[in-house]
């Protein structure tokens, strides 16, 4: 049995460790699941961009942008979701809704800001529901 643990430990050491962004997205998904959300897609690439998480909260489709930082040295993680990023997310959200014939359904944008200092076992997670209204042309939500 002891050699089993040694072999599995050695195999784990060969696997590249997840990036801070990947660990943050996994932590955000766990957090949202604990809040009752159902995760339906992760890291969905479409139209020259990416939606980090797509979830369902009750009867609302939620597009979740996850921002993970090791510190606040360059600002709070949520500050990275500026107006340009909001426009991009609104465009991607509309594409997703059109592609899946969901334009009649309620949808919103949440932001999950994660601060995960190097060496810390657990991050600080801040969840902003309805973090912003879609910006730009082709607005789709009310």
Q: CA-to-CA distance for 52 and 32, rounded, in angstroms?
A: 13
Q: CA-to-CA distance for 67 and 81, rounded, in angstroms?
A: 8
pLDDT (tens digit per residue) in 97-137: 999 999 999 999 999 999 999 988 899 999 999 999 986 55
Q: List the domains of the chain with CATH numbers.
A: 18-128 (3.40.1350.10)
Q: CA-to-CA distance for 96 and 88, rounded, in angstroms?
A: 12
pLDDT (tens digit per residue) in 20-76: 889 999 999 999 999 999 999 999 999 889 999 999 999 999 999 999 999 999 899
pTM: 0.83
């Amino acid at each position: 049995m002891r050699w089993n643990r040694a072999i599995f430990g050695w195999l784990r050491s060969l696997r590249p460790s997840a990036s801070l962004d990947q660990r943050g997205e996994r932590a955000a998904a766990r957090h949202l699941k604990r809040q009752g959300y159902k995760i339906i897609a992760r890291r969905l690439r479409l139209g020259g961009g990416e939606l980090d998480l797509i979830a369902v909260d009750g009867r609302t489709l939620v597009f979740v942008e996850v921002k993970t930082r090791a510190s606040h040295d360059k600002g709070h993680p949520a500050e990275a979701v500026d107006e340009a990023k909001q426009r991009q997310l609104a465009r991607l959200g509309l594409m997703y809704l059109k592609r899946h014939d969901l334009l009649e359904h309620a949808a919103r944008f949440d932001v999950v800001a994660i601060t995960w200092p190097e060496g810390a076992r657990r991050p600080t997670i801040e969840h902003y529901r309805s973090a912003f209204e879609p910006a730009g042309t082709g607005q789709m939500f009310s």
